[in-house]
């Protein structure tokens, strides 16, 4: 065996892998730009004191107090921070849900869906919280509760992906999404679970946005193709 062939093969593999990664990222630029921002803000939180991190997040929280003073600012900045789960956890979820949604809808339509879900769910969930405060079901200090993160937008995108799946399977998928978030709502009965379930309903209501992109993904042929690929490599 030529001793040079080993390094050359590795270099060739690295180049092919690099080109494949660039093609993959270029088809969902919005998703990966967002992930880059989340990686940066996650590192910031990890390298500052808990007290400073809390003050930082308070200024970017979509609670009732901040929404009444700087609604546009906090609606934007609240989606640039991760509320639990860790960056790698959301990296996986973004590749499962946001990447196919952005590829299917296009960046502009995908952005429209996540904004509808994020903004709409925020206002409705905080409206429920305001009602609870005024009727004595929640304390007055709940106006300042931290409320930030990307999960409302993620729930909305998960829901709109219903229309990507072919009709034979989409009903099973949407039933699973509604069951997952519906059970969380029944168990928790807090404003966050209200927000998540609302985001799902708003994502489903984005059918007019998705209508121009007919559903075409069938899990059975996709699983067969994946199995054939693995079998050939094996």
Q: For residue 23, what are its two tokens?
A: 């093609």
% of residues, the chain, pLDDT over 90: 74
Q: What is the mean pLDDT of the chain?
A: 88
- Residue closest to 209 by CA, chosen among 80, 70, 81, 104: 104
CATH number of domain containing 211: 1.20.1540.10
234 burial type by CB count under 10 A (0-12 exposed, 13-18 middle, 19+ buried): exposed
Provide the residue range defining the domain that includes 126. Answer: 5-233
Residue 7 has pLDDT above 80, yes or no: no
Q: How far is CA 103 from the centre of its chain?
A: 14
pLDDT at 160: 96
Residue 70: count of CB within 10 angstroms of its CB = 15
> What total number of domains does the chain contain?
1
Q: For residue 194, what are its two tokens?
A: 């209200």
31 burial type by CB count under 10 A (0-12 exposed, 13-18 middle, 19+ buried): buried
**C-alpha distances in angstroms, 96 versus 47, 64, 89?**
29, 32, 11
∠ CA 88-92-97, nearest 5°, is 140
pLDDT in tens, 83-132: 888 999 999 999 999 999 999 999 999 999 999 999 999 999 999 999 99
pLDDT at 1: 47
Q: How far is CA 207 from the centre of its chain?
A: 18
Give SS3 for 217.
strand
Q: What is the mean pLDDT of residues 28-34?
A: 97
- Residue closest to 153 by CA, chosen among 100, 200, 189: 200
Relative orientation angle of helices 191-204 and 151-160, to the nearest 10 degrees: 30
Q: How far apart are CA 80 and CA 96, in angstroms?
A: 19
pLDDT in tens, 44-65: 999 999 999 999 999 999 999 9
């Amino acid at each position: 065996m030529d001793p040079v062939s080993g390094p050359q093969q590795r270099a060739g593999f690295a180049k092919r892998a690099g080109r494949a990664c660039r093609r993959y990222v270029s088809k969902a630029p919005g998703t990966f730009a967002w992930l880059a921002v989340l990686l940066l803000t996650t590192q910031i939180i990890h390298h500052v004191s808990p007290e400073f991190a809390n003050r930082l997040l308070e200024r970017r929280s979509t609670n009732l107090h901040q929404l009444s003073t700087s609604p546009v600012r906090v609606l934007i900045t609240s989606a640039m921070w991760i509320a639990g789960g860790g960056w790698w956890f959301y990296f996986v979820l973004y590749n499962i849900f946001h990447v196919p949604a952005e590829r299917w809808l296009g960046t502009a339509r995908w952005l429209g869906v996540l904004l509808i879900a994020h903004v709409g769910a925020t206002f409705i969930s905080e409206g429920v919280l305001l009602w609870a405060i005024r009727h004595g079901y929640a304390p007055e200090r709940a106006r300042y509760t931290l409320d930030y993160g990307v999960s409302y937008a993620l729930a909305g995108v998960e829901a709109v992906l219903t229309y990507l799946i072919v009709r034979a399977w989409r009903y099973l998928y949407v039933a699973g999404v509604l069951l997952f978030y519906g059970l969380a709502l029944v168990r928790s009965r807090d404003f966050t679970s209200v927000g998540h379930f609302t985001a799902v309903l708003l994502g489903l209501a984005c059918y007019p946005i998705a209508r121009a992109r007919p559903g075409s993904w069938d899990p059975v042929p996709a699983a067969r193709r994946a199995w054939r690929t693995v079998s050939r490599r094996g």
